[in-house]
A and B are shown apart, each in its own frame.
Chain A
């Protein structure tokens, strides 16, 4: 039985490895290769230019601005999204005031809330972005009209047309459209935490906040970490909202420029696909650094239950 084992495994692995090499690895290698060329994307003729594209990238103000925006997105969007997701999920599952026969339960109407939270998730990001574009419209958009209606017209803003606010407006949309997914994900995680833990905590007199930080969060840590990486990747992209919603697009005074969109403009507007792949390689590096940091930071002892 034993000596056929490796051949058996190799046989099983060969096909996926080949597919992976062709469709995943080779584009990576090609992209790195093209980042050393002056390829325009408009014709098949190009030549090697060495590190010229990288030199350009290091001295390009707009690229660094885009990186900066991505870093802000990376810090703010996952934090807010996951924070809200955890809070809502906790309230839906264990935040209730314990009705009869159940020591641990969600707040009243939690089933309905779950559906409402999840709703944005079923909308395509294109639709969400378009809807919010109308919402942010400074003349007759919902926000300014509301402010006007309640007599707070002094608070009216240009929203997406104001370089100071534009990026924050985008972040609000990204949070809005993603939070529902994490409510559901964390709810699923929480429901697998044994009820007796909560009951024991209640008997010991722990309040909600204490229960959350001492029981829920530690037992949910793996899920949170996965969510963090996933949200981080969404934050590193942000292409669709920038493309659909912002002035330019790219924002007034480049205030919403992100790496993903910069790749797009370099390829499809400027005919500089070589430089675009260089930005792509830079994005890959940033993503890898991010993933390494998060997995390192998140490493902690596993709890058995």
Chain B
């Protein structure tokens, strides 16, 4: 017969091991990367300033680049790095390229230890919080790059070649420019021209028409709308410009500024009620609240829903599931009624793919120079061709045959003219925008579990909480 004392001892070990199992990884993971090293990094010497080398890059120093390997892949950056190596032959073999989807997991320890790379594409679901990076003085001011002559035309500065709003987006408080957004994204209501044609309708420019189109589709068993229900923060891509269109830019600005009662503006209420009606009338694709972005885009590609709020990366991302004759297009939000403050065509367009040069980078000039090369016409054209997205360089599309989605984005931009809005919530207050307002409020409303009035109350509470939280750095529109 066995003896129990044996069992007891083994149990004791098991128990203590099990106890250690949970707490140790959770805590040591945090503290292992804790503050090591100081910020006095060893920078490389500057090179000689010349017409060919306006940023005075050290011509033989190594360059360390980390790219977000997401919807746009990484080839465009590799190509630009090859250009860089060609311009500075002595750096050949010293340009270190890395690509990852886990930006924060990979880079946070490096930032903390004071050895970050020279250029980072800080994008994706694991984007490092820009507000915190700026507040903790972890970034290099990119003003020298913006004031340097552009790659193609030495008479123009880089600043003068950029699309409107790009420079401003990289600023947080006052003058320094911390971030350079490389891609230029057009947000809005995406649809298929051929699927609308099959229903014998055109893109509805008023909300009444929108409801009529949805009704017509419903009779044929097609849903009007779908959206990534698992990540409902796609809804603002068409909802925010809709709010701005109804009530004017100030409404969005006061929301961004976290002003008290900003969400209680009548324009917000009107927009929410219009969207809620889509749910109430059964125009939302069944099961949408449980779909990922890929699943909802695929359903849309299959013609199961007509409209989807999205950004211009969708053309590249959905390439595999998009039918040949789909004729993808983007449109600005429909008008609510005649009293709208801004004309039809008002849409959200802004920089995407934020590039940063860390403060303690060894070769910050090299990082900026690579950006300057990327903002040249050659790299831009390459980028447009590879990933069918616009870049922040104003132009570069001449002589290229654009894919349908991108062509329509370009058209929508031209049509919008000055009426391009740029809500900053998603880069100023990421958690508030995505998790709280996106998932917690808008997602619940569109799933039919909250009325517009309740949703507004919730949004306002989330915004007030963020405004009160002194751990979150606040920013304001100038």
Residues of chain A at the chain B interface (Cβ within 8 Å) = 23-24, 27-28, 30-31, 34, 38-46, 56, 136-139, 144, 158-163, 192, 194, 222, 225-226, 229-230, 233, 236-237, 247-248, 250, 252-254, 260, 263, 265, 267-273, 275-277, 280-281, 283-284, 287-288, 291, 295, 302-305
Min CB gap A248→B, angstroms = 4
Please name the 10 residue pairs, one residue from A and one from B, whose CB atoms are nearest each other, closest first.
A138-B287, A271-B132, A27-B28, A161-B290, A44-B35, A30-B31, A139-B287, A161-B289, A138-B290, A31-B27
Is the CB–CB distance between A271 and B7 below 8 Å? no
Query: What is the chain B residue whose CB lies nearest that of A23?
Result: B28
Min CB gap B224→A, angstroms = 16
With contact pairs A31-B27, A270-B431 given, residues A248 and B136 touching in the complex (Cβ less than 8 Å): no
User: At the interface, yes or no: B478 with Cβ under 8 Å from chain A?
Assistant: no
Sample of 5 further A-B pairs with CB below 8 A, known A46-B35, A291-B19, A304-B1: A27-B24, A139-B295, A247-B289, A277-B31, A281-B27
User: At the interface, yes or no: B403 with Cβ under 8 Å from chain A?
Assistant: no
A44 contacts which of B38, B133, B289, B440 (Cβ < 8 Å)?
A: B38
CA distance A280 to B24 in the complex (A): 10
With a cutoff of 8 Å between Cβ atoms, the chain B residues found around residue A24 in the complex are: 20, 24, 28
With contact pairs A30-B34, A265-B435 given, residues A137 and B291 touching in the complex (Cβ less than 8 Å): yes
CA distance A41 to B24 in the complex (A): 18
With contact pairs A28-B23, A305-B1 given, residues A268 and B14 touching in the complex (Cβ less than 8 Å): no
Residues of chain B at the chain A interface (Cβ within 8 Å) = 1-4, 7-8, 11, 14-15, 18-24, 26-28, 30-39, 104-105, 108, 111-114, 126, 128-129, 131-133, 136-138, 229-232, 285-287, 289-291, 295, 299, 430-431, 435, 439-440, 443-444, 447, 449, 471-472
With a cutoff of 8 Å between Cβ atoms, the chain B residues found around residue A137 in the complex are: 287, 290-291, 295
Is the CB–CB distance between B289 and A138 below 8 Å? yes
Chain B interface, >50% SS class: helix
> Would you give 12 A-B contacts (Cβ < 8 Å), ordered by A?
A27-B28, A41-B30, A42-B133, A137-B290, A144-B287, A226-B11, A229-B15, A247-B290, A250-B435, A252-B439, A275-B471, A277-B30
B230 contacts which of A247, A269, A270, A305 (Cβ < 8 Å)?
A: A247
Is the CB–CB distance between A283 and B36 below 8 Å? no
A304 contacts which of B4, B132, B430 (Cβ < 8 Å)?
A: B4
CA distance A196 to B108 in the complex (A): 62
With contact pairs A40-B136, A43-B136, A44-B114 given, residues A158 and B19 touching in the complex (Cβ less than 8 Å): no
Is the CB–CB distance between A44 and B113 below 8 Å? yes
With a cutoff of 8 Å between Cβ atoms, the chain A residues found around residue B136 in the complex are: 40, 42-43, 45
Is the CB–CB distance between A42 and B290 below 8 Å? no
A284 contacts which of B27, B31, B108 (Cβ < 8 Å)?
A: B27
Is the CB–CB distance between A252 and B471 below 8 Å? no
Min CB gap B362→A, angstroms = 17
With a cutoff of 8 Å between Cβ atoms, the chain A residues found around residue B111 in the complex are: 42-43
Is the CB–CB distance between B31 and A34 below 8 Å? yes
Is the CB–CB distance between B19 and A233 below 8 Å? yes
Interface centre among B36, B104, B131 (most CB of A within 10 A): B104
Min CB gap B328→A, angstroms = 21
Is the CB–CB distance between A222 and B7 below 8 Å? yes
CA distance A250 to B436 in the complex (A): 11
Min CB gap A116→B, angstroms = 26
A-B contact count (CB 8 A): 200
A192 contacts which of B2, B22, B113, B133 (Cβ < 8 Å)?
A: B2
Is the CB–CB distance between A139 and B291 below 8 Å? yes
With contact pairs A194-B1, A222-B7, A237-B22 given, residues A28 and B112 touching in the complex (Cβ less than 8 Å): no
Is the CB–CB distance between B126 and A268 below 8 Å? yes
CA distance A254 to B441 in the complex (A): 11
CA distance A103 to B62 in the complex (A): 77
CA distance A42 to B109 in the complex (A): 8
CA distance A32 to B165 in the complex (A): 44
CA distance A23 to B32 in the complex (A): 10
Min CB gap A163→B, angstroms = 7
With a cutoff of 8 Å between Cβ atoms, the chain B residues found around residue A283 in the complex are: 22-23, 26
Interface centre among A34, A144, A268 (most CB of B within 10 A): A268
CA distance A239 to B103 in the complex (A): 20
Is the CB–CB distance between B290 and A248 below 8 Å? no
Is the CB–CB distance between B34 and A34 below 8 Å? yes
Is the CB–CB distance between A271 and B128 below 8 Å? yes
Is the CB–CB distance between A44 and B28 below 8 Å? no
With a cutoff of 8 Å between Cβ atoms, the chain A residues found around residue B11 in the complex are: 222, 225-226
With a cutoff of 8 Å between Cβ atoms, the chain A residues found around residue B20 in the complex are: 24
With a cutoff of 8 Å between Cβ atoms, the chain A residues found around residue B35 in the complex are: 39, 44-46
With a cutoff of 8 Å between Cβ atoms, the chain A residues found around residue B3 in the complex are: 304
CA distance A28 to B449 in the complex (A): 42
With a cutoff of 8 Å between Cβ atoms, the chain A residues found around residue B38 in the complex are: 44
Is the CB–CB distance between B290 and A136 below 8 Å? yes
Min CB gap A235→B, angstroms = 10
Query: What is the chain A residue whose CB lies nearest that of B232?
Result: A247
A252 contacts which of B27, B28, B30, B289 (Cβ < 8 Å)?
A: B289
CA distance A45 to B38 in the complex (A): 9
CA distance A248 to B292 in the complex (A): 10
Min CB gap B164→A, angstroms = 30
Is the CB–CB distance between A269 and B129 below 8 Å? yes
A42 contacts which of B21, B138, B295, B299 (Cβ < 8 Å)?
A: B138
Min CB gap A251→B, angstroms = 8
